[in-house]
Amino acid sequence: MDSSTRLLKTLESVYMIAALAAIAYHGLSVFWTFHGAMEHYTVHLGAILLLIALHIAVTKGQTTIGTNRIAWLVFACLMFILTLVSTAYLYIFAEALELSQPFITDFQYLIGFVLIFTVFALNWVVWGTALTIVCVLAALYFGLGHLIPSPVADLQFSPSVVMSYLAGMGGPRGVYSFIPLSADTIFLLLVYGGLMTSTRVLDMFEEIGKAIGNLVRGGVGYSCIVASSLVGMVSGQTVSCIALSGSMTIPTMIRGGYTREQAGAVEVMAANGSQIIPPVMGLGAFLMAVLLGISYVEVVAAALLPAFLYMFALALAVYSLIQASPKIPYERLTVDWKKVSWILPSFLPSIMLIVVLLSLRYSGGMAALAGSATLVGLSILRPKIYRPSFKGLLSGLANGALAGAQLAIILAAIGVVVQMLVTTGLGTLFAQLMIGVSGGSVGIALLLGMGIVLIIGMGLPTPAAYSLAAIVVIPSLIDVGVNPLAAHFFGFYFAVFSAFTPPVAVGVLMAVKISHGSFTKTCLESFKLGAICLLLPFFLVAFPNILEFPNLTTETLVAVFLFCISTLMLSAAIYGGFMGRLVTWERLYMTTGPVLTVMYFQWQDAWLAAIPVLLLIGFAIYKKSERRKAPQSVAV
């Protein structure tokens, strides 16, 4: 064994120890208070930065050679040292900084700069250039905005005040803005998500997806929706969900007759949809609860019916895609029901325990810890063939800790942007401009808000895109009369949709790596599927009572039924498939449904609700008679 191999083995061991130590610290913090709040958050921030630096050293050490390997190892070592120095200082002098902030010494200014530099540099490696550029520009504007002509009153702040705010010295600001959320709630929930892989829960999801997919032609597309929804529901990340579930679903769909682009698009939209499914919602539920000042349980209850409608709309879209693609055959896949019967009894009690504890107002950390212990405890009672290995459990814990660290570093970086928007008043300025352009019209404001969120969300992870939307777009929607909870859901849904917005389209990029299809064509297919789901955010604004589940009015239930009808008609119009392939005039006929539905959303006249239903029933009768005349048509 040469020296480089020994070094990599040592780094792997150190990385595993660091991950387990981070989990142990957060687990014990659920029960005991070791120090003050700022000290606790500094330990969390330091732990995630160290973990990411070690992971970079391990992965780059394994995948690069020569000078590239040396450069990456030096970079990781530098990040490790800078993290230790900056967070150790902030931990030791936490109380003094709380008393003196926002006025800091030159040395403390340097410490703050080192911390911000480390956060930005590690974000660049983990999440790419787009997020890093946004954060760097925000920090520069905060410090140098007074040099730029601006209608905002006074942007000139002293350097010490700027750094004190950006580095969160003495209070949960800047990089610390969302760290309490990460430390106390999200980190251990994502550790639970990591254990799902090692305890073979993801394998079970694949089997359940196969069973559902066996019911109809092209069923592997539906199995993709089920599997990806369940995986992403807990993993909390679009890209990682595509990487995990897409590696199984995309090749299966391609073998089942889907084109490479169609398979990639279905996986992207299913993974996107998983971000709106409780309990994690891509961190959206927790962020929304903090921003609105309501409980997490209220957000989850509000998200239940919209999440179902999104997945139902996506399923209708896949149905129309299949109907328009006669080359997709009816194919049955073998389902390992024995695997399901052994794994499901260990997963269900664990996820139900998490939901129950969260609904009883226990902390996210407590719920995740109890769920993880239940999952592992029941998993080791399985027969040996389905039992996780000890090494596998350690790997699952480490993967969960890494996922928690990667999402935490997004929150640290985007905290800088949020701090700048709030302190400089730039966020308020954007909101005022949007209201002015819309002229107070809710419809125009919604269209503007949609466009702005899709643009600012390009290349950004969902939590970052939503955080920006919450500052720049959502306040103006509330000001023009949109229900606050509906406004936040509207902004959050389009933050999710921005994952397939070109030219960045991070979700599509990951899917294309697996499918080996065309990036442009996969984006186009994603747009088709996304357009079919596009009515949902506007529907939430028109009927905010849908967010008060289970206290729904008759009017809302009628609107839900109409939404389902119009979504089916819209998908048929876009793909040209409904009870078989559609010709041009039939597709134009089907567009009348969604158009009348939008008009009903606006004016809510009963006759506008009745017409789409009658149009669809009439068309279904017509198609049925046509199929009788042509018995050779492809079966559903």
The verdict on whether omega for the bond into residue 102 sits within 30 degrees of 0, i.e. cis, is yes
Question: 313: buried, middle or exposed (CB in 10 Å: 19+, 13-18, 0-12)?
Answer: buried
Question: 581: buried, middle or exposed (CB in 10 Å: 19+, 13-18, 0-12)?
Answer: middle
Picking from 37, 354, 292, the residue whose alpha carbon sits closest to that of residue 184 is 37
**CB contact at 8 A, 126 and 52:** yes
CA–CA distance, 302 with 284 (Å, rounded to integer): 12
The verdict on whether omega for the bond into residue 550 sits within 30 degrees of 0, i.e. cis, is yes
Picking from 56, 59, 63, the residue whose alpha carbon sits closest to that of residue 125 is 56
pLDDT at 181: 83
pLDDT at 237: 66
Picking from 110, 126, 113, the residue whose alpha carbon sits closest to that of residue 75 is 126
625 half-sphere exposure, CB direction, 13 A CA radius: 5
pLDDT at 634: 46
Give residue for tokens 């980190």. Answer: 187
- CB atoms < 10 A from the CB of 361, how many? 9
pLDDT at 280: 64
CA–CA distance, 396 with 193 (Å, rounded to integer): 8
Q: Give this prediction's pTM.
A: 0.80
pLDDT at 155: 62
Which residues have a Cβ under 8 Å from the Cβ of 341 and sit 6 or more positions away? Answer: none
CA–CA distance, 268 with 117 (Å, rounded to integer): 32
Mean pLDDT split into 10-residue runs, the chain, 636 residues: 78 92 93 88 95 93 86 94 94 88 87 94 87 87 73 66 87 87 84 84 77 76 78 66 77 84 88 78 76 83 88 88 82 83 89 82 85 91 88 90 88 87 79 79 87 79 82 88 91 83 73 86 86 85 87 85 89 86 88 85 76 87 77 48
Domain positions in the chain are: 3-178, 553-636
User: What phi and psi values does residue 388 have, to the nearest 5 degrees?
Assistant: -70, 145
